[in-house]
Structure 1
């Protein structure tokens, strides 16, 4: 009984393998044939069946063969979308843009211009990675809006641009915090201020202005005494700005403490400078005294030993 079942299973497996091999051979024969019309028809059929892999193989063969012919526009449109369906957004955006550039009068030109920009959007990585594609996506979407200001897709394009700008804002904020974390306080102050300049409506505004006070205070506190007065003064100015803008902030007490410590730091720096000046004057006076002593004429050997005089 077992041998009979095994034999039946083996026979079924062989039939399936033969059938699969036959289908594969049929497709390979189609690819190798010169029947472009049939390839075109089968490529569309595979696309509609969502068998995008086989559709793409056929479209790649057909595109150069139909260049300049009446069917070329439809073919290239499907070709671009097949790459998109395969999630090859780099290739898809290239082909969508090429379609829009090649067929500017086509009823599909607007759609393909939008899709090229949208593929950039889909290729935009998380904010912690390099944001080159994010910037290019914003440029492409803005170009679409400029070219088709009355398009129904303008609202969607604007929303996508805002999403991308939010990502760049997150990137800028994270980079600024990183400077603070690694102890590069001056760079942190500059970077935080750049974030506020580039994103004036940022959701991080309150926290960023608090961190500017903190970073500037730490920058002053870790400086040589000769630089501290100026840098503590900047910390106080940042603190006053924060207190004026965010009187009810959860950071207000900490900011007030940074201001008080900065004021004390200025007093300490001034005292240090005064003492350093006094020490410098004393050192200079001592050096002058030593210089006078060193210039006195020493007694000659003959003065010490009169008997040596002839």
Structure 2
């Protein structure tokens, strides 16, 4: 009896909770479905200020359509863009910020919204190991902002963001170049290191790139045919000399000099090998020439008629 009473009480409490929850939900849904735009506007702002961005977004989405062309539309579009931003929907937020700047170019908020559109691109830039299309778009958008508002307080911040993005591109270029060295495609590695240095002449990885270029060129020469090694070892020596001049205090200095010394030894070795081959080839040609001369002599003898004995 007592047990059944407890079950009934529990069920009643659960039903009251469900009813209460449903009542709250239906209150918002009724507001959403209503045509009371004034109240919707007030509630949307309240939800936004309270951090209830999902509810605010639903109302703003409806209101920006209803208030299009009216004075209130500027505020609504501004809040709408920021609501998407707060919900981390940076793609939609970027579009809304850009749209605001284009719809209200004379607004005091136009500069802010153009900056925020570029900043959304910045936030969408992935880690260096992934595709960097958004990184390039972010740099372009931030640079455009600086060009349009060179005196803005945000221009310096935009420049700092560009530096961060370029550092990411430099890191990607550096790591991608090293992959060729790691997999043993040494010529591709040399080309990639050169390209990275050309694309980012002020990169902080310049010393590493110059050093790895020596290593890649040396290994490229070492794995080449003997007839091409001298030329390629000389390139490695040239790279090493340039590295020593540019980075006399480098921690890689000893290794760079070792690659140079090994390349010089490689040149001596290959010159000796080629000289020996030349001698062997000459001897082989002389033997072949003697065989050919002998064959001709025998052929002449065979063709000479024998005089009949008297």
Q: What TM-score, normalized to structure 1?
A: 0.89
- The reply on whether 1:232 has 2:233 as its aligned counterpart is yes
- How far residue 9 of structure 1 moved from its aligned partner, in angstroms, is 3.7
User: Take 1:153 and 1:15, find their aligned partners in 2: how far apart are those partners?
Assistant: 53
- How far residue 284 of structure 1 moved from its aligned partner, in angstroms, is 4.7
Question: How many residues are paired up?
Answer: 303
Q: Which residue of 1 aligns with 2:224?
A: 223
Q: How does 1:119-198 map to 2 (within 5 A)?
A: 119-198=120-199
- How far residue 258 of structure 1 moved from its aligned partner, in angstroms, is 0.6
- How far residue 23 of structure 1 moved from its aligned partner, in angstroms, is 1.6
User: Take 1:85 and 1:4, find their aligned partners in 2: how far apart are those partners?
Assistant: 48
- The reply on whether 1:75 has 2:76 as its aligned counterpart is yes
Instruction: Out of 259-268 and 246-255, give the one that drifted further.
Output: 246-255
Q: Which residue of 2 aligns with 1:55?
A: 56
User: Take 1:210 and 1:170, find their aligned partners in 2: how far apart are those partners?
Assistant: 16
Distance 1:69 1:291, change over 3 A: farther
User: Take 2:29 and 2:111, find their aligned partners in 1: how far apart are those partners?
Assistant: 36
Q: Which residue of 2 aligns with 1:10?
A: 11
Distance 1:290 1:90, change over 3 A: farther
Q: Which residue of 1 aligns with 2:308?
A: none
Residue segments in structure 1 that go unaligned for 5+ positions in a row: 304-310
Distance 1:282 1:69, change over 3 A: farther
Tell me the SS of whatever aligns to 1:200: coil
Tell me the SS of whatever aligns to 2:153: coil
User: Take 1:287 and 1:15, find their aligned partners in 2: how far apart are those partners?
Assistant: 110
Residue segments in structure 2 that go unaligned for 5+ positions in a row: 306-310
Q: What TM-score, normalized to structure 2?
A: 0.89
Q: Which residue of 2 aligns with 1:308?
A: none
> Per-residue CA shift, 1:235-256, capped at 9, x if unaligned?
0001111112222322222111
- How far residue 162 of structure 1 moved from its aligned partner, in angstroms, is 1.0
- TM-align CA RMSD: 2.5
Instruction: Out of 194-203 and 70-79, give the one that drifted further.
Output: 194-203
- How far residue 201 of structure 1 moved from its aligned partner, in angstroms, is 2.7
Tell me the SS of whatever aligns to 1:257: helix
Q: Which residue of 2 aligns with 1:64?
A: 65
- How far residue 83 of structure 1 moved from its aligned partner, in angstroms, is 0.5
- How far residue 285 of structure 1 moved from its aligned partner, in angstroms, is 5.0
> Per-residue CA shift, 1:49-102, capped at 9, x if unaligned?
211111111222222222222221111111111110000011111111111111
User: Take 1:110 and 1:198, find their aligned partners in 2: how far apart are those partners?
Assistant: 31
Q: Which residue of 1 aligns with 2:34?
A: 33
